[in-house]
Amino acid sequence: MKKLASTSFRTFYLLLILPSFLFIAFAQTSSKAEKIDELMNKYTDYLQFNGSVLVAEDGEVILKKGYGMANMEWNIPNSPETKHRLGSITKQFTSMLIMQLVDEGKLDLDKPVTTYLKDYPKETGDKISIHHLLTHTSGIPNYTSFPGFFQNQSRNPYTPKEFVKVFADSSLVFNPGEKFEYSNSGYFLLGVIIEEVTGKSYEENLKERIFDPLKMNDTGFDHHDEIIKNRATGYEQRGTEFINSPYLDMSIPYSAGSLYSTVEDLYKWDRALKSNKILSEESKKLMFTMHKALGPLQGAGYGWYVGQQNFGKDTVNITGHGGGINGFNTLITRIPEDDNLIILLNNTGGKSLNEMTTAISNIIYGNEYQMPRKSGVMALLKEISENGMESGLEFYNKFKDDETYNFNEGEMNSLGYQLLRSGKNEAAIEVFKLNVKAYPKSGNVYDSLGEAYLKNGNKKLALENYKKSVQIDPNNTNGLEVIKDLENNTD
């Protein structure tokens, strides 16, 4: 009897304290969710985020919410169900289809492009393997970087085979496997190979092989002419104002960037990647292997970037990829070993999603994190617009080190190009010079300053800055081409 009583008491005690542990765990999770919500609300208040967010810790969703407007004309708010264009997040779905076909013995990663596309130019196609396309090491020039591409071609519909001709005859910018250079052309070509091998369209393959099995019912190919419920409108920011983003025919991004989805469907995608439901473990490991190092902590997998990142005292392995397409930018970040996930889908383009992801990750790991600051660039633009460039420079020098404002490199660069497009070349040069001074280790800021000098007719200073850019970033092949042209045409 005493033994029985003792067992009963212990059982009762466990039942009594178990809800307390659950409450504590819930309180901790709730606290993290509240901090993330506060963070994203502040980004929204400062016009630095407008979209949908999902955060999962230990595989469980702790926050999913919309911020700002999916449609500003009708005041329709973003929600977890809002469908956003994904941009280059599409590439991970393309790589999944490729690896499924590898599993089925229908593709060989080491075989050249011409094995599967008989009409592709043999001079280059015989040298480029499927592996090269997946890792951005093919040397095929990136069609979205072609001069005048967005002005002259991006609005026109193409079939995949027609569009391949836009870049197929181009010379390689380096020997396959020699370097890494991000190439939408390579992933476009993968889509055409998928169609050729399966006899079905890229879209049909996605639906049958990924979306239907995973019940990703709110994900698909973003056809402009279709009525797609809950589809967000894409906007671009001009200071504190927003405009509708330029039209882009979605046959252009194709297998490099044509998909739309929701944060909830991307959570299903993350869950599938934890299992072997649609891909073998061997192929999945290959997809997340660092095949080409891009620095001490990061490299290219197949459709993903892989590597390590520090969050306070924690160093974690991460896989992730961002996307940018007219009116939208996106980022999915996975921390597989801890089963953490951060999805940010933004429909006002060009925001600092990496900065937000870092803050959210630090909240998850219980580290200190930085709250957003007001955009110094917006305030600078306002000052320039109202009082001129000289007053703008005074404003910048006064507040550049003030904790109230953040003069973000990307935003400053965008402001410079906004002025450049408006024909205000001298003002653009001044803004780019400020960015060079603030971010002297960034090759991109020198490239932009070089472009502004070139547009303003100063070839000497243009050449000087392009050389500095490629010195910092040897992968800047466009800069190398400009340098070659300038050296051949400068007295």
Do both 259 and 178 map to the same domain? yes
**pLDDT tier at 490 (50, 70, 90 boundaries)?**
low
pLDDT tens for residues 202-230?
999 999 999 999 999 999 999 999 999 99
Do both 380 and 353 map to the same domain? no
In a domain, 30, yes or no: no
Do both 112 and 146 map to the same domain? yes
pLDDT at 312: 64
Identify the weakest region by mean pLDDT among 116-120, 190-194, 293-297, 458-462. 293-297
Q: What is the DSSP letter of 129?
A: B
pLDDT at 297: 82
Give me the domain span that covers residue 384.
Answer: 374-489
Tokens representing 379 are: 């305030």
In a domain, 37, yes or no: no
Cα–Cα distance, 2 to 339 (Å, whole number): 45
Cα–Cα distance, 481 to 173 (Å, whole number): 10
pLDDT tens for residues 298-339?
999 999 999 998 876 678 899 999 999 999 999 999 999 999
Q: Give the Cα-Cα-Cα angle 328, 372, 231 (nearest 5 degrees).
A: 25
**Domain final residue, candidates 364, 388, 412:** 364
Do both 158 and 295 map to the same domain? yes
In a domain, 24, yes or no: no
**pLDDT tier at 12 (50, 70, 90 boundaries)?**
very low
pLDDT at 434: 95
pLDDT at 28: 60
**Domain final residue, candidates 364, 388, 405:** 364
Domain of 446: which CATH number?
1.25.40.10
Choose among 480, 481, 412, 477: nearest CA to 449: 412
**Domain final residue, candidates 343, 364, 385:** 364
| Confidence check: pLDDT of 4 > 90 | no
Do both 158 and 268 map to the same domain? yes
pLDDT tens for residues 412-468?
998 898 899 889 999 999 999 999 999 999 999 999 999 999 999 999 999 999 999
Cα–Cα distance, 156 to 149 (Å, whole number): 11
Number of other CB atoms surrounding residue 23 within 10 Å: 10
Query: What mean pLDDT is reported for the chain?
Result: 91
Number of domains in the chain: 2
Cα–Cα distance, 229 to 131 (Å, whole number): 37
In a domain, 179, yes or no: yes
Choose among 415, 468, 360: nearest CA to 63: 360
Do both 257 and 205 map to the same domain? yes
Choose among 347, 341, 350, 349: nearest CA to 83: 347
In a domain, 218, yes or no: yes
pLDDT at 295: 82
In a domain, 253, yes or no: yes
pLDDT at 120: 97
Say which residue the tokens 């099995």 belong to. Answer: 213
Do both 210 and 340 map to the same domain? yes
Do both 348 and 403 map to the same domain? no
Cα–Cα distance, 232 to 400 (Å, whole number): 35
pLDDT at 473: 87
pLDDT at 6: 33
In a domain, 57, yes or no: no
| Confidence check: pLDDT of 14 > 60 | no
Amino acid identity, position 208: E
Choose among 34, 11, 50, 37: nearest CA to 348: 50
Do both 324 and 384 map to the same domain? no
pLDDT at 313: 66
pLDDT at 2: 32
Instruction: Cite the beta strand spans of 84-163 per DSSP E.
Output: 84-85
pLDDT at 21: 42
Do both 152 and 270 map to the same domain? yes
pTM metric for this prediction: 0.86
Domain of 91: which CATH number?
3.40.710.10
pLDDT at 104: 98
Average pLDDT over residues 473-486: 84
Crossing angle of helices 389-399 and 376-387, in 10° steps, is 150
Do both 309 and 384 map to the same domain? no
pLDDT tens for residues 32-76?
999 999 999 999 999 999 999 999 999 999 999 999 999 999 999
Which helix (H) or strand (E) is 70 found in, with range? strand 69-71
Share of the chain above pLDDT 90, in %: 78
Do both 316 and 416 map to the same domain? no
pLDDT tens for residues 158-190?
999 999 999 999 999 999 999 999 999 999 999
In a domain, 9, yes or no: no
